[in-house]
Amino acid sequence: MLRPCAAAISAQPGRQTEFLSTTADICIYGGASGGGKTFALLLEPLRHVSLITNFSAVFFRRTMPQITNPGGLWDESLKLYPWVGGVAHVRDREWRWPGGGKIKFSHLQLDGTVYHWQGAQITLICFDELTHFTAHQFFYLLSRNRSTCGVRPYIRATCNPDAESWVSDFLAWWIDPQTGLAIPERAGVLRYFVRVSDKIIWADRPEAMVDYLPRPENLPPGFDLPPPISVTFIPATVFDNPALLRANPEYYMWLESLPLLERERLLCGNWKIRPAAGLYFKREWCIIVDEVTADLDIIRYWDLAATEKTEFNDPDWTVGIKLGRDRNGGYWLLDMVRGRANPGDVEKMLLNIASQDGKRVRIGFGQDPGQAGKSQAQHLVRALGHFTVVASPESGDKVTRFGPFSSQCRAGNVKVKRASWNEELFRVLEGFPDLPHDDEVDACSGAYEMLNPPMKSWGAFEAMRQRAEEITQQQAKETAQQRKPPPQTVYQPGSMEWQAAQKRSS
């Protein structure tokens, strides 16, 4: 019977090994993209789960799709846990071991979802992307971090930088307040804290916390004084993950091509950078052209508003951005129209512009949530019945949605047709997100999204790309074989077949 080959599962030397070696009660790992955070987190429970009876670990993401999407936590666990005796229970999103050890994957989508864990005892709690969770969720689950299996309860977490998150304040001692980057000599250094009336008290040594701990005379007989909780932060970037860079060397350039805000956070690990005007667009990133190439795939996307301007208000604009994409993946910003009008006049504007653009140009607009948004979308689709129209619900914050289009601009991949509207568009894009009106930003984001329909995950895309590549290589191989001349038969000299062949050729 064939047996699977033995495989060594281990962390990479450096930051991953430091993360798996720390004795801290709470260790937060990462602070940038590509540092091997998820793999290290999945390795952590393997030191106990097959050896300790009733050992339990729970991995939390904010939503269940973040766990189950291709390339997510569950998919990555499939590459590891079967090799060490784990049995998958897909319905429960659990791995179980013969000795009673268990690893579970769950979500905390709502702030109150933590109360589903009342009464639970979890030896190891793992938060993947800690900045996605609220401080309330994190500190409440500390009360569930308990065990009688013989392993001291502890917490591990990964994250990317977010200056607006509570995690940024929690890790402030490990971060340089001027540069926003991790202080190298503090990486892995333990500190201690207690929480008093929702205020965190920090100290460098556990004995310095004695004034904040219960007094011995207030404890039941035979109970030891509880120690303060130890915490550390171990930063890691893509350069701490050589295995990734060997397998996917272009990943660094993907990070390098991000807009400044995301690049500073995900590539450099900057915890202090915040959205500010000029970070997401500069007019010099784009090329102004007088002529436009043919054969573009073109979208006219509308960011809708429906309030007329009066002397007493400052309403949003209805903005229509016309964006095209060429066969080489380049983008062409062809036109912008905008106006402040009531719903009836907005509808007329959409019809007039659609007639000018022609049926070749697809039309899109954002659909507000709720019944009112659905009714408005249905009405406009009927009104534009002679054209191809798509109403798409918009999700995510404005900064995140604008990121992909901003990246294309920064890479010099967007050309702008010279026209009178250029200056107003550039003014708004350069002022984002500090200006009171950013309707042009939303319209650019929507147009780019319509030209690039969102996929469920990068993992799914990568799998499809690899499969397409395999098919292309196989077809090329078959074509090459078909072009080869048929093999020729070589006869032994002097044989009857050889003599016959000699006569035919003479």
Closest CA to 403 of 448, 348, 438, 368: 448
Q: Between 226 and 358, name the one with better pLDDT.
A: 358
Q: Are residues 106 and 183 in the same domain?
A: yes
Q: Are residues 195 and 303 in the same domain?
A: no
Q: Determine, yes or no, domain membership for 205.
A: yes
Average pLDDT over residues 38-44: 94
Q: Determine, yes or no, domain membership for 469.
A: no
Q: Are residues 232 and 279 in the same domain?
A: no
Of 403, 432, 451, which marks where a domain is finished?
Answer: 451
Residue 112: DSSP 8-state: G
Q: Which helix (H) or strand (E) holds 299?
A: strand 297-303
- Going through 394-475 in order, the beta strands assigned E by DSSP cover 414-417
Q: Determine, yes or no, domain membership for 262.
A: no
Task: Round the average pLDDT of the chain to a whole number and report it.
Answer: 86
Q: Determine, yes or no, domain membership for 337.
A: yes
Of 403, 423, 451, which marks where a domain is finished?
Answer: 451
- Assess whether pLDDT exceeds 50 at residue 465: no
Q: Which residue range(s) make up the domain with 346?
A: 275-451
Average pLDDT over residues 18-42: 93
Q: Are residues 19 and 82 in the same domain?
A: yes
Contact 333, 299 (CB under 8 A): no
Q: Are residues 150 and 59 in the same domain?
A: yes
Q: Determine, yes or no, domain membership for 496.
A: no
Q: Determine, yes or no, domain membership for 485.
A: no
Span 126-148, pLDDT tens digits: 999 999 999 999 999 999 999 88
Span 235-284, pLDDT tens digits: 999 999 998 888 888 888 888 888 778 888 999 999 998 877 778 899 99
pLDDT at residue 70 in the model? 87
Q: What percent of the chain has pLDDT over 70?
A: 88
Strand ranges across the sheet with 287-289: 287-289, 414-417, 331-339, 318-325, 297-303, 362-367, 389-393
Q: Are residues 85 and 128 in the same domain?
A: yes
Helix 439-451 with 398-410: angle, nearest 10 deg: 70
Residues in the chain: 506
What CA–CA distance (Å, rounded) separates 274 from 270? Answer: 10
pLDDT at residue 480 in the model? 62
Q: What percent of the chain has pLDDT over 90?
A: 56
CATH of the domain at 71: 3.40.50.300
Q: Are residues 225 and 329 in the same domain?
A: no
Q: How far is CA 396 from CA 278, 399, 442, 445, in A?
A: 21, 8, 11, 11
CATH of the domain at 349: 3.30.420.280
Q: Are residues 283 and 408 in the same domain?
A: yes
Average pLDDT over residues 433-450: 91
pLDDT at residue 483 in the model? 61
pTM above 0.85, yes or no: no
Band of pLDDT at residue 492, cut at 50, 70 and 90: low
Q: Are residues 134 and 172 in the same domain?
A: yes
Number of structural domains (the chain) is 2
329-359: b (≥16 Cβ within 10 Å) or e: ebbbbbbbbbebbebeebbebbeebbeebee
Classify residue 437 as exposed, middle or buried by CB count within 10 Å of its CB (0-12, 13-18, 19+): middle
What CA–CA distance (Å, rounded) separates 238 from 247? Answer: 12
Q: Determine, yes or no, domain membership for 474.
A: no
Q: Are residues 236 and 104 in the same domain?
A: yes
- Assess whether pLDDT exceeds 80 at residue 298: yes
For the ranges 91-105, 131-145, 153-167, 219-233, which has the lowest average pLDDT? 219-233
Classified as helix, coil or strand, 372 is helix
Band of pLDDT at residue 202, cut at 50, 70 and 90: very high
- Assess whether pLDDT exceeds 80 at residue 90: yes
- Assess whether pLDDT exceeds 90 at residue 157: yes
Q: Are residues 295 and 174 in the same domain?
A: no
Q: Are residues 397 and 442 in the same domain?
A: yes
